[in-house]
Amino acid sequence: MMLGMGSMSAANQGPVGVRFRPGDRRKNPRFDMHFSAFVRRVGESWECCETADVSAAGAFFLTQHPFPLHAPVEFILTFPSELTKAPQQLRMRFYASVVRCERIASGNGAFGVAVRNTAHRYLTREESAYFDSLDRNHEHPDSSFGDQNSSQTGT
């Protein structure tokens, strides 16, 4: 599921709700993209969360639990077909490292977690179906799912 995405806008050359941060001097620009996502420390249970922004180099999540600095994490993003121009939504698994974790002052105990991507890969149909069922059923994921297919593809 994705939040805040809509039709294309000529003004910002992207989907409505996706805003480029023009004052950002980073090597890879960040975009305000609010996706529901799944995130976990490697080997632990998946947690449903939401992205606040994403870039080619990483992402910033809002979660209910803190993540230790430099912890290896995995996260699953679902890109809608309106964004990718693919015939169906695409799910990708990203491998990353935590570069910052902070309590969000107005977030009712939520944490902001910044990660730097180290690798990524598209999910198999089986893996995508698993996360589809989690989206539909709002269940807590099995922490071991997909571990047999966890080979990484560099970015």
Per-residue model confidence (pLDDT) at position 81 = 82
Residues 17-26: tens digit of each pLDDT: 444 445 555 5
Per-residue model confidence (pLDDT) at position 37 = 92
Residue 21 lies in a domain: no
Per-residue model confidence (pLDDT) at position 107 = 67
* Residue 11 DSSP one-character state: T
Angle at 105 between CA 72 and CA 77, to 5 degrees: 40
Residue 62 lies in a domain: yes
Per-residue model confidence (pLDDT) at position 85 = 86
Number of domains in the chain: 1
Per-residue model confidence (pLDDT) at position 79 = 85
Residue 17 lies in a domain: no
Residue 155 lies in a domain: no
| Residue 92 identity | M
Residues 111 and 46: their CA atoms lie apart, in Å, by: 16
Residue 76 lies in a domain: yes
Per-residue model confidence (pLDDT) at position 9 = 34
Within the chain, which residues score under 50 in pLDDT? 1-21, 139-155
- 92-109 CB burial, b ≥16 within 10 A, e <16: ebbbbebeebeeeeeeee
Per-residue model confidence (pLDDT) at position 137 = 66
Per-residue model confidence (pLDDT) at position 72 = 97
Residue 147 lies in a domain: no
- Domain of 100 in residue numbering reads as 30-138
Count how many Cα atoms sit within 13 Å of the Cα of residue 64 in the half-sphere of its side chain: 6
Per-residue model confidence (pLDDT) at position 153 = 42
Q: What is the CATH number of the domain that holds 102?
A: 2.40.10.220
pTM of the complete model? 0.71
Residue 12 lies in a domain: no
Cα distances (angstroms) measured from residue 42 to each of 81, 107, 110: 28, 25, 20
Per-residue model confidence (pLDDT) at position 88 = 83
What does the block give as tokens for 24? 């950002």
What does the block give as tokens for 109? 């105990």
Residue 8 lies in a domain: no
